[in-house]
Structure 1
Amino acid sequence: MADKIRVGIVGAGGVSQLFHIPLLKKNAQAELVAIADTDYAKAAALAEKEKIPKFFRDAERIFDDPDIDAVHINTPTNSHLALTLAALAAGKHVLVEKPMARKSEEAQRMVQAAKKANRHLMVGMNLRFRPDVMLLHEWVQGGELGAIRVVRASWLKRKETWSRSPWLHESRISGGGVLMDLGLQLLDVCWWVLGKPKIKRVSANLSKDRLNLRVEDTFSSYVTFQGGASLLLNSTWAYMSDDSAALTVFSGNKGIAELNPLKITKEIHGSLVNVTPAGPQLRTTTVYNKSFEYEIEHFYNVVSGKGKLMSTAEESAYILEAVEAAYRSASEGREVLVGADD
């Protein structure tokens, strides 16, 4: 491998333009050398603007380049399987955007391909890399809040600001609606903060009568974990309020933690005390953008042999199993066991 890890990006859309390209240009370990997009004019224009040496219509041109070590796959979800398999077969390390795949079966094929190729496959679950979430993970795993029994998580996008990317509301492309888009991320980050306990049961309700789409625009779900914790989860693309809203609360028997903004309250000598850490990296206005920076930095640390993946393909495949259980619960009107053919 060269002094720097040489990188190709597949997909010239918003997530590449807003996050991956500028952050790769800042990263001391990586060098962005190629971009591909089925819209060749878009790839060419972006390459010229960002001074990316190579640009292609066909992603295979990136995979076939022996000088490229790693690939970012930032394309609609239905293309992730084929692109990831091809990149891994060509010996590339892969960072694939969320959701990893449309179905857990696709995700498992990607997991096995990474093992066969002996290459790193990381899923871009950027919420795990938010500075406030990483700090909360340390507190929860360190027992600072005691035993967590109840988690409540909401991500409510104002009706006028929901994503209108056409592929997001075509289930054959995206795998589903707001549950796949926002719910999957919320479930993943709550599960990770809790220490990745076994998911036991899922129940869910879906609706699609607010935006008149073919996929759900609103959902609520109740998830129970081995060990006694439970999660009440809900999200919508059609929040009828002046502003979007997001709030996650972890309730333990020694304290409580909230996100957006971060606030941690503990019982100390019989009194409730605000023990929230301070710091510019924890500001609500910066934590989301920082999450992508830390995610990409982490990936290249791992590729360089400086650590283990904090967001593995196996974990994302497991979360997809739970999401599938939620869809099944909504369809059948009953609680569903995760990982069981009930």
Structure 2
Amino acid sequence: MSKAGKLRLGLIGAGNIGNVHLQEFGELKDDCEFVAITDTYLPLAEQRAQQYGIAVVSPSPEELIRREDVDAVIVAVPNSAHAPLTILALEHGKHVLVEKPMGLDSEAAKEIVRAQKRTGKTVMVAHQMRWEPLALQVKSQVERGELGNIYTAKTGWYRRKGIPGWGTWFTQHSQSGGGPLIDIGVHMLDLAFFLMGEPKPVSVYGSTYAEFGPRKKGIGNWGKPDWNGIYDVEDLATAIIKMDNGTSLTLEVSWAVHMDTDSSPFLHLMGSDGGAMLRGSAGKFLTERFDETVDIELQPPAEDEGARVRLSRHFLECVREGKTPWTSAETGLRSNLIIDAIYESSRTGSEVKLDWSL
């Protein structure tokens, strides 16, 4: 740490999500500071460094990781580089905040878990949806037992016309690991398990479809397309996940679909004593009183520092205090195991058992 007691951060990846990290950690200037930044396109890293007052632009991720004045590294790069850079950082004694998905696949995720256990350093996956104010309200009620036994849940995120960066790394399986399932579905998986009480998934039955992308249909407005590139991922996925305690979770996600949808992520918890619903920035509890159904609208706080700031503060606290993050390496592995199993189930048409062995 610096002489002022601040955690010294290095950022790998100066693109859009990297810029978000610069902004949100910038709200916590009393506790941390960025000392180095890098990107495969160094002019962008130089631009961010000038904008945010970062002293060092490292010529490569490896050089940044080796720096003795960096305590923790934020990995905000394409999916295929998450595991190699996270593991390298751990082996050089750095703590790591890595963007989702933690690994390109479950084997990459297992390598991260093994490295984390070997080094004892902090690994946290940047799943901000757990930190949304309404999600935290639901979590509080779940922990109080207000919903009773949560026996099943349904979650998803339908984008009607939202394929990002057609032909770029986003739509190439070797670089991204998949389509909407690993892009936005991973967020909903993490949120659902958080609110369900972190049950252990044991088997998956799923299907994936590519009806839009291969025809260059369903294109969104995020990212610059490369029409000479590749699209070999799905544009819709659906699955049912079964847990060791008998509970279940249904997942449905799309980048493109002909359906009447407001494109908001959603989650429904179904409990023996009550239920909860989240959709976008709205939510409610559903229960029964005196044999009559009762809906209680959730109210967001009048002022809120933001989910990403809470996420960033939690990472700093975990590093300083040696606490296990809410979104630990094990939760990242869980998501990767499920995602791999959905792809395998779609390929074989059969239920897939999850292999948790390291």
TM-score normalised by L of structure 1: 0.92
SS at match of 2:159: strand
**Secondary structure at the counterpart of residue 122 of structure 1:** strand
Match of 1:227 in 2: 245
Per the alignment, residue 214 of structure 1 pairs with: 232
Aligned to 1:148: 150
1:109-143 deviations in Å (ceiling 9; x for gaps): 11121222221111112222222212212222322
Q: Which residue identity does 1:264 align to in structure 2? A: F
Structure 1 position 5, deviation (Å): 0.4
- For 1:256, the aligned partner's letter is G
Quote how far apart the aligned CAs of 1:53 are. 1.2
CA deviations 1:153-194 (Å, max 9, x no partner) are 1201130x4322721111111111111112222122111211
Supply the AA of the counterpart residue of 1:118: G
The alignment partner of 2:146 has SS state of coil
Give me the whole-angstrom Cα distance separating, in 1, the residues matched to 2:261 and 2:342: 29
Query: Counterpart amino acid of 2:331?
Result: E
Partner residue in 1 for 2:310: 294
Q: Is the 8 A contact 2:134 2:299 kept in 1?
A: no
Matched, 1:25 2:46: no
* Alpha-carbon distance, 1:23 to partner: 0.9
State the 1:274 CA deviation. 2.8
* Aligned-partner Cα distance in 1 for 2:298–2:79: 37
1:253 matched to 2:255: no
- The C-alpha deviation readout for 1:288-341, integer Å capped at 9, x for no partner, is x92222111100011111743111001211221121111111000112222289
Query: In structure 2, which of residues 18, 35, 52 is the aligned counterpart of residue 16 of structure 1?
Result: 18
Distance change (3 Å), C-alpha of 1:164 and 1:247 = same
| Distance in 2 of aligned mates of 1:97 and 1:24 | 14
Deviation at 1:93, TM superposition (A): 0.7
* 1:81 aligns to 2:83 (yes or no): yes
Distance 1:108 1:143 in 2: 33
Paired amino acid for 1:175: G
Aligned equivalents of 1:312, 1:245: Cα separation in 2: 26
Q: Give how far 1:277 is off.
A: 4.3
What's the TM-score once normalised by structure 2's chain length?
0.88
1:35-62 CA-partner distances (Å, limit 9, x unpaired)? 1011111111121122211112301221
1 CA distance for matches of 2:124 and 2:356? 26
CA contact (8 A) 2:133 2:301 kept: no
- Give structure 1 regions of 4+ aligned residues with deviation exceeding 4 angstroms: none
Q: CA deviation at 1:69?
A: 0.6
Alpha-carbon distance in structure 2 between the residues aligned to 1:181 and 1:303: 27
Q: Which moved more, 1:244-253 or 1:76-85?
A: 244-253
2-structure distance, mates of 1:273, 1:217: 37
- After superposition, residues 97-136 of structure 1 pair within 5 angstroms as 97-136=99-138
Q: How does 1:33-112 map to 2 (within 5 A)?
A: 33-112=35-114
* Contact 1:150-1:251 at 8 Å conserved across structures: yes
**Equivalent residues of 2:122, 2:324 under 8 A apart:** no
Structure 1 CA distance for aligned equivalents of residues 300 and 174 of structure 2: 43
Kept in 2, the 8 Å contact 1:43–1:57? The answer is no
Larger deviation, residues 77-86 vs 127-136: 127-136
Indicate if the aligned counterparts of 2:150 and 2:247 stay in contact, CA closer than 8 A. yes
Distance 1:66 1:224 in 2: 45
Could you say which residue in structure 2 is the equivalent of 1:274? 295
5+ unaligned residues in a row in structure 2: which ranges?
215-230
Q: Which runs of 5+ in 1 are unaligned?
A: none
What is the RMSD computed on CA atoms of the aligned residues? 2.0
